[in-house]
Structures are given as C-alpha cells and as structure tokens.
Structure 1
C-alpha cells in the first residue's frame, strides 16, 4: 500500500478504502469514456489494476488506475476528480503520486488516452507518440452501450 498526504488530500493504493459504488456511478454515468459500463466490469478492472483513491476527510473524491506488468509497461486509465472538487489541484496531486509510485519506476512505456487533459499529463512527461505509425489498436467506444 502506498499512501501520501498533502494538506487535506490523501492518496492511497489501499483497495479496501475504495468507494466502488461511487467509482461505478461516475464511470457509468458521468465519464466520457465508459458510459454504460457495468458494475461487474468496474469491479473486475479494479481487481486487476493498481488503483489510487484520492480522499478528503475520509471521503473518496478522486480515482485513477494503472494496468501494468510492473516491469516494462503501464497504461493510466479512469482518472477523475468528482465535479464538485475540481479546480483545486487534486488531479495534479493524484497523478504525481501515480508517477512516483515505486512499482511504476523504470518502465519502458507508460501510456494513456485523453480527449481533453493534455496539459495536465504533459506536466508529467507525457507526449504524443514518438512513432504513431507503430501503434495500433482495436477501439470499441460504445461497447458498454450495446
């Protein structure tokens, strides 16, 4: 478990602290990338990822998860701060803790997808792909709505 506490905002990798119903509600109803996702899929994604919860006074207000082999690659996913807590620097603190996590050091590739937060991630060294012609994907953006 990795925990940090800056001012009143605390980030922890303790899965037992995660507010899974809140995470599910946000992803399935408010995210731009996982609308319609089922609780079962959210639970399975949490179970198979390194998860980071952001907390204020014990209440979870932020989330991020990393899919990784802990040796060569990682993919940052499902990053959010609930709307009423945005604009206070919590996303920056959350991503800083993710990027400093001891198990995520020395990786050859660390990726993420974002539609609108490029400047946030650029602060942490993320750039457009160096060789976009070498990247392929299978993308099903509406998979949870079928």
Structure 2
C-alpha cells in the first residue's frame, strides 16, 4: 500500500537513490541534501512500505509565493499517478491554502504539470548562480 508523508527524517541513502534517476539531481552530496531538507518548508514523500518511491518539496512564505522543487518518482512506480498525488498533496496542503502563486522551474514534463493546472508563463526572469570556485567577498 502506498502512503504519503510530510516527515523530513528521510533516509538520505534512499533519497539520493531516487535522485540518481533524475538527470537534474545526479551528483548531489549527502551533506548537501541533509542541509537542504533541514531548510525546506514542506516535504511530501511517497512510500511503499519503508521504500521511498516519490518526493517533492516546497519553499514558501505561506502567503504570497511557494516554489515547488525536486518532484521525482522512482521509475518502477511511474505511471501510477504518484507524481500527481504528490503535487495534489502539495497544492491542497492546509498550510499553503493562502499561497497566491506556486512557482515551478522546469523545462521538461510540461504536459504533466499542465494537467494539474500549471501554465507556461512567457515572462522574463533572472537567476544568479554561485560558481563552485568563486565566492563573494
């Protein structure tokens, strides 16, 4: 039976294994993922017994904006609506009921997110990326 949880005390080895199947998340270090979880506002995970099979997380101010990150489902469980259920749990979460706008940064799986009501916005955005070698003084 598949269950869903908001707990943050996820076995990092299982989460890293799940990330291994996502091209945008390969190579993440255990320490970095541990810190990421500690600073994430909401975690939604899917479990088959004690096996982690799906994951998504949210950063938010709980009023105006929320950003959804790292939605991933184990390839063995894709096609079973687990990703849809993770997203529905996030979008309907009581703590997020006031949020006006959910942001999602992705250039793949557009059709999946459009089925959930997301629309592609032709807006100008900016990003600043920290170089691994350079640091601000």
TM-score using structure 1 length? 0.79
Match of 2:21 in 1: 30
Match of 2:84 in 1: 92
Task: Name structure 1 gaps, 5 residues minimum.
Answer: 1-7
Match of 2:36 among 40, 45, 55: 45
- Are 1:11 and 1:55, in contact at CA under 8 Å, matched by a contact in 2? yes
1:95 Cα offset (Å):
0.9
**2: distance between equivalents of 1:90 and 1:57?**
14
Shift >2 Å, 4+ stretches: none
1:115 Cα offset (Å):
2.7
**1: distance between equivalents of 2:123 and 2:32?**
29
- Are 1:72 and 1:108, in contact at CA under 8 Å, matched by a contact in 2? yes
SS at match of 2:27: coil
Match of 1:13 in 2: 6
**1: distance between equivalents of 2:52 and 2:25?**
19
Count of equivalent residues = 131
Match of 1:68 among 52, 57, 60: 60
Match of 1:112 in 2: 104
TM-score using structure 2 length? 0.84
- Are 1:62 and 1:80, in contact at CA under 8 Å, matched by a contact in 2? yes
SS at match of 2:3: strand
Task: Name structure 2 gaps, 5 residues minimum.
Answer: 133-137
